[in-house]
């Protein structure tokens, strides 16, 4: 269609008006495209980058000032030990020190010690019948509480369901038909936990009690604050629930609805109004309650927990049978683990088997899997006799422990030489500190051992504070103090 000349003029005017009303960016964009040269222009140099902002440096943690003056306490401990030692000359106090090839072996313990007024300090003492008796650990617990305060009782178990005796200051009883396994059994019908014992109630009418008795009134204890109870019991279908009653009425811990075939870690709040804790399964038969122990902790922050984990007759490899050891140890997260074993590893044959070294290293490895940063303290074994014959492997065991400690980054407390060394147990017996079997100590003898261990732990912390660098080399020559 041909347009009239007036229509052509009108169309041109409209086009000009549309262009004039278009936004400025449209014109700029059009010009940029129309006048761009064939080769792209070089982009201008970027502005120099601004200097990076330094990350804020966290303020160094400053440990609260302790109410206990360590140098003074160490001197008092030394004076007391020397006074007690006059009745037993073979006891060589020059060895009452903790040695390490690398101070990193005790750094976690030292840090937890410094901050114990704010965060829980936890020590786990693992051993055989010497530890299960509880006398040495009870003294260690009392002495540590006097410095750090009470963080709770720690690990406990209904011992009567699995063993004839409970640790010092505890009385346990039970009723019904409980099955049991311990770390010294080769064939285990069900799994073990950290305490080296496990019991299974088979009916809802079964029960057990733990009477803390003198633990409630022990020096520096604050049992009214022991309100946090962690139970370690197998969970899943087929398991009965758990009832805990500490005087304020039963608290039911659900287990049957948990994960099948797994160790249950359940927390409950209890109000202890009596020394007796009652444990019972809850539910309809058939069913069972499989118990691997409890952890009793204070509701207050800070303080110390000292756990006694002892199984009569245990060897290093015994605790390797504990399927839940890593999980349970990781749950309580200790700062220091004391491996106080060895008696039953060479007592009967008076020989250190080649496999012992790998077993010790394997147990150290289990502890490290549970908590890689945990400090580990290895001990040696007092002079022994078996069937009226001297056991002569004490020095060889000391050398083995020192070598393993140096390579594994552990510390050593040489109880063998501190207590006099080879041929001195008879003097302990004559002083009323060792039993006629020439293997075990009396209550007073174990209390001396616990006091000596507490002295050594206190002294090494004081030494580390005074020596920010350096180590205490392991070895027979280095063990003697000037």
Mean pLDDT of the chain: 86
- The residue among 270, 300, 330 that closes a domain is 300
Kindly tell me if the per-residue pLDDT of 91 is higher than 80.
Answer: no
73 and 132, same structural domain? yes
Measure CA 329 to chain center: 6
Residue 238 falls inside a structural domain: yes
268 and 321, same structural domain? no
- Residue 243's Cβ-side half-sphere holds a number of Cα atoms within 13 Å equal to 17
Write the CATH number for 264: 2.60.120.1360
Measured between alpha carbons, how far is 428 from 414 in angstroms, rounded to an integer? Answer: 17
481 and 346, same structural domain? yes
Residues 311-327: pLDDT tens digits?
Answer: 999 999 999 999 999 99
Measured between alpha carbons, how far is 346 from 363 in angstroms, rounded to an integer? Answer: 17
Residues 291-308: pLDDT tens digits?
Answer: 999 999 999 999 999 999
- Structure tokens belonging to residue 314: 């245990």
With CA atoms as reference, report the closest residue to 327 among 379, 270, 370. Answer: 370
CA distances in angstroms from 59 to 56, 64, 82, 223, 421, listed in the order given: 9, 14, 43, 36, 48
Write the CATH number for 472: 3.40.50.1110
- The residue among 300, 318, 344 that closes a domain is 300
241 and 100, same structural domain? no
Measured between alpha carbons, how far is 198 from 190 in angstroms, rounded to an integer? Answer: 8
What is residue 1's predicted lDDT score, i.e. its pLDDT? Answer: 43
475 and 367, same structural domain? yes
456 and 437, same structural domain? yes
Lowest mean pLDDT among 72-86, 144-158, 292-306, 332-346: 72-86
Measure CA 477 to chain center: 31
- 3-state SS assignment for residue 481: coil
What is residue 7's predicted lDDT score, i.e. its pLDDT? Answer: 42
> Which residues are 177's β-sheet partners?
none
- The residue among 268, 300, 332 that closes a domain is 300
Q: Are 229 and 294 in contact (CB under 8 A)?
A: yes
With CA atoms as reference, report the closest residue to 462 among 49, 69, 188, 131. Answer: 69
Residue 191 falls inside a structural domain: yes
Residues 450-465: pLDDT tens digits?
Answer: 999 999 999 999 999 9
390 and 401, same structural domain? yes
256 and 141, same structural domain? no
Residues 216-252: pLDDT tens digits?
Answer: 888 888 999 999 999 999 999 889 999 999 999 999 9
291 and 158, same structural domain? yes
Residue 423 falls inside a structural domain: yes
Kindly tell me if the per-residue pLDDT of 178 is higher than 90.
Answer: yes
Contacts of range 67-73, beta carbons closer than 8 Å, 24 or more positions apart: 68/147, 70/458, 70/461, 70/462, 70/465, 71/462, 73/147, 73/458, 73/462
Domain limits at 293? 152-300
Residue 25 falls inside a structural domain: no
Residue 10 falls inside a structural domain: no
289 and 320, same structural domain? no
Count the neighbouring beta carbons within 10 Å of the beta carbon of residue 290: 24
132 and 117, same structural domain? yes
- 3-state SS assignment for residue 64: coil
Q: How many domains does the chain have?
A: 2
Q: Are 294 and 231 in contact (CB under 8 A)?
A: yes
> Which residues are 413's β-sheet partners?
98, 379
Residue 177 falls inside a structural domain: yes
Highest mean pLDDT among 81-90, 165-174, 182-191: 165-174
Helix 135-148 and helix 443-466, axial crossing angle in degrees, nearest 10: 40
């Amino acid at each position: 269609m041909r347009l009239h000349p007036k229509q052509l003029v009108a169309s041109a005017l409209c086009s000009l008006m549309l262009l004039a009303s278009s936004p400025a960016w449209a014109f700029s964009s059009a010009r940029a495209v129309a006048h761009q040269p064939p080769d792209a222009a070089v982009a201008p140099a970027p502005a120099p980058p601004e200097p990076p902002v330094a990350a804020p440096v966290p303020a160094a943690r400053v440990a609260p000032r302790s109410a206990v003056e360590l140098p003074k306490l160490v001197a008092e401990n030394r004076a007391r030990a020397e006074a007690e030692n006059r009745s037993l000359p073979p006891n060589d106090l020059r060895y009452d020190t903790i040695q390490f090839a690398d101070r990193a072996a005790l750094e976690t313990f030292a840090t937890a010690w410094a901050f114990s007024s704010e965060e829980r300090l936890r020590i786990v003492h693992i051993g055989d019948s010497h530890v299960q008796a509880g006398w040495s650990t009870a003294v260690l617990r009392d002495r540590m509480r006097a410095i750090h305060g009470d963080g709770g009782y720690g690990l406990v178990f209904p011992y009567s369901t699995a063993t004839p005796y409970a640790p010092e200051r505890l009385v346990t009883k039970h009723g019904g038909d409980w099955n049991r396994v311990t770390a010294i059994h080769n064939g285990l019908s069900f799994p073990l936990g950290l305490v080296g014992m496990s019991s299974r109630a088979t009916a809802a009418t079964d029960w057990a009690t733990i009477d803390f008795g003198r633990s409630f009134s022990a020096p520096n204890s604050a049992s009214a604050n022991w309100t946090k109870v962690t139970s370690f019991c197998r969970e899943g279908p087929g398991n009965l629930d758990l009832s805990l009653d500490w005087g304020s009425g039963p608290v039911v811990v659900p287990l049957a609805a948990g994960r099948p075939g797994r160790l249950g870690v359940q927390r409950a709040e209890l109000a202890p109004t009596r020394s007796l804790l009652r444990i019972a399964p809850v539910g309809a038969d058939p069913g069972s309650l499989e118990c691997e122990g409890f952890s009793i902790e204070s509701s207050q922050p800070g303080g110390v927990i000292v756990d006694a984990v002892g199984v009569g007759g245990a060897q290093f490899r015994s605790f390797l049978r504990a399927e839940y050891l890593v999980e349970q140890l990781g749950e309580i997260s200790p700062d220091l683990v004391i491996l106080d074993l060895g008696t039953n590893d060479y007592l009967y044959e008076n020989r250190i088997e080649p496999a012992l070294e790998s077993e010790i290293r394997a147990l150290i490895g289990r502890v490290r899997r549970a908590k890689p940063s945990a400090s580990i303290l290895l001990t040696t074994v007092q002079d022994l006799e078996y069937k009226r014959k001297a056991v002569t492997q004490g020095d060889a065991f000391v050398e083995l422990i020192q070598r393993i400690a140096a390579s594994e980054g552990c510390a050593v407390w040489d109880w063998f030489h501190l207590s006099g060394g080879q041929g001195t147990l008879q003097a302990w017996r004559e002083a009323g500190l060792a039993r006629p079997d020439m293997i075990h100590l009396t209550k007073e003898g174990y209390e001396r051992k616990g006091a000596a261990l507490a002295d050594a732990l206190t002294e090494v912390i004081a030494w580390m504070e005074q020596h920010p660098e350096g180590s205490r080399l392991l070895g027979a020559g280095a063990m003697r103090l000037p």
